[in-house]
Structure 1
Amino acid sequence: MTRGLGGLFRGVQSLTSLPATRAGLGHPSACVSLRTMVALPSFLSFEPRDFSLPNSSWSSEMLRLYEQYSIQCEVETEGGENRGGQWQRLPSYNRSLKYATGGNYLSKIIQSKARLFTRNIRDPGAGFEYVVFANKEEKRCVCIFQAGHRLEGPPGHVHGGATATMIDTVTGSLAALLSGPVMTANLNINYRSAIPLGSTVLIETSLDSEEGRKKFISCKVTSTDGSKLHTEATALFLSINISHLLQGG
């Protein structure tokens, strides 16, 4: 696979007549040099797109909550130091590949078009619109979630499977933040009241306990003011070696 990627870059270089970059193709820094010297087509871009940023479909309530948590996040100063709150916004794209052998380099190329499957609907607002904020010190995550019309189950309301998907995504994000690569071992969900399509809800998760490779996490889905409980859940995640997983082990 590496030889194939190298051939692709050599082809791009020959088309753009930049022999000065040929010698360094085997080193990751060469990718940066090539990118800064050549205006690559979008399909060759190394930058993954972050789908957890506001777009035109976000409701005023979702934007309000996004701003509320954003101002509590860490910020990076010009000197490269982190300063600010204990929260951090988690980018929404596939990050698993970086844990494989050599994945840190390969992921910069492949992740440019890799997305969590909840982001596979191209139309903004039609499917899963969400952003996750994490507090590693307090071992909890908060997700602001807005469901689009393609997630309909009961008329005018969100399908229970879509809610389960989001619960798995957010509890898994917390487990992965605390211990690296994980897989869902158990997900137990109690549905209390249906979520109206287009509404904004909060998905809050916290770590209950841990035993070796096991992470036990609880979750609740509520209205943004906390007055209505939509769903409760508990989840069990197991730490894994993702290199073995990708190799079929």
Structure 2
Amino acid sequence: ESLPSLFSSNPRDFSVPNSSWGTEMRQLYEHYNSQCEAVTDGGEEQGGPWKRLPSYNRSLKYAAAGVYLSKIIQSKARLFTRNIREPGAAFEYAVFVNKKEQRCVCIFQAGHLLEGPPGNVHGGAIATMIDTVTGTHACVHSGFVMTANLNINYCSPIPLGSTVLIESSVDKKEGRKTYISCKVTSTDGTKLHTEATALFVSVSVSHLLKG
């Protein structure tokens, strides 16, 4: 079960197009969104290989479980990649998952607040997105998880303002452990920006909320 199921429908979904999205971002979004599961006007489900995962700023007041919730609400925590309200300033992304093929793809547009080397995206911001995508994928595949290991090789810089694809695949699962590989490429797939492997360990919801 995917993470968004823990939250009410009230928060704003940040994974839908906004005015900051460039042409590539919109075209890729429409490409994958057109292949998603859908419900017709008659209430019939139409099959599709992909499913878009909604994304919220995740103020913990919207979480639906855990006896430790009141303690966490007071911290005013926000999901790191969704804590900047200005459209296009930082992490603009949409995640799609293909359960049958055990694949996940993220369309990521890097905002001006993510600069590291002049004119390019900070390596930590790239690592954040890789952890976000592989972690989300692991959650869809294995339930609640936490990152145990993230190994990243940076191959070429990502220019600020550009759009890239972050693709992950499940390599294997051993008990509570889920192994995932990931690559970050140009939208046409001709340039490899970053590659990574990740290990996630399944945990209980109550364990996550204890902190």
Q: TM-score range by the shorter chain?
A: 0.7 to 0.9
Report which of the two structures shows the higher radius of gyration computed on alpha carbons. Answer: 1
* Residue identity in the other structure for 2:66: A
Q: Secondary structure at the match of 1:85?
A: coil
Confirm or deny that 1:168 pairs with 2:134: no
Residue 177 of structure 1 aligns with which residue?
140
| Alpha-carbon distance, 1:122 to partner | 1.2
> Higher RCO, 1 or 2 (CA under 8 Å, sep at least 6)?
2
Alignment of 1:1-249 (within 5 A): 47-93=10-56, 94=58, 97-98=63-64, 100=66, 115-248=78-211
Q: Distance in 1 between matches of 2:207 and 2:43?
A: 34
Q: Distance in 2 between matches of 1:170 and 1:193?
A: 19
**What are the ranges of 5 or more consecutive residues in structure 1 without an aligned counterpart?**
1-44
1:107-163 alpha-carbon deviations (Å, 9 max, x no partner): xxx8xx975220111110010000000001111100000000100000000000000
**So what's the TM-score if we normalise by structure 2?**
0.86
* Residue identity in the other structure for 2:106: C
Structure 1 residue runs of 4+, over 2 Å off?
Answer: 77-82, 94-103, 113-116
Taking a change above 3 Å as real, the CA distance of residues 95 and 132 of structure 1, as seen in their structure-2 partners, is farther
Q: Distance in 2 between matches of 1:171 and 1:214?
A: 13
8 Å Cα contact 2:183-2:194 kept in structure 1: yes
Residue 4 of structure 2 aligns with which residue?
none
Taking a change above 3 Å as real, the CA distance of residues 81 and 239 of structure 1, as seen in their structure-2 partners, is farther
**What are the ranges of 5 or more consecutive residues in structure 2 without an aligned counterpart?**
1-7
8 Å Cα contact 1:200-1:223 kept in structure 2: yes
**So what's the TM-score if we normalise by structure 1?**
0.74
Q: Distance in 1 between matches of 2:200 and 2:89?
A: 29
* Residue identity in the other structure for 2:48: G
1:91-116 alpha-carbon deviations (Å, 9 max, x no partner): 1123983453698xx9xxx8xx9752
Identity of aligned residues (%): 71
Answer 1 or 2: which has greater helix percent: 1
8 Å Cα contact 1:90-1:132 kept in structure 2: yes
Taking a change above 3 Å as real, the CA distance of residues 114 and 210 of structure 1, as seen in their structure-2 partners, is same
Q: Distance in 2 between matches of 1:75 and 1:161?
A: 36
8 Å Cα contact 1:218-1:234 kept in structure 2: yes
Q: After superposing the two structures, state which structure 1 stretch, 75-84 or 239-248, moved more.
A: 75-84
Q: Distance in 2 between matches of 1:127 and 1:116?
A: 13
Q: How many residues align?
A: 197
8 Å Cα contact 1:48-1:114 kept in structure 2: no
CA RMSD of aligned residues (A): 2.3
Taking a change above 3 Å as real, the CA distance of residues 114 and 78 of structure 1, as seen in their structure-2 partners, is farther
1:2-57 alpha-carbon deviations (Å, 9 max, x no partner): xxxxxxxxxxxxxxxxxxxxxxxxxxxxxxxxxxxxxxxxxxx9601100010000
Taking a change above 3 Å as real, the CA distance of residues 137 and 98 of structure 1, as seen in their structure-2 partners, is farther
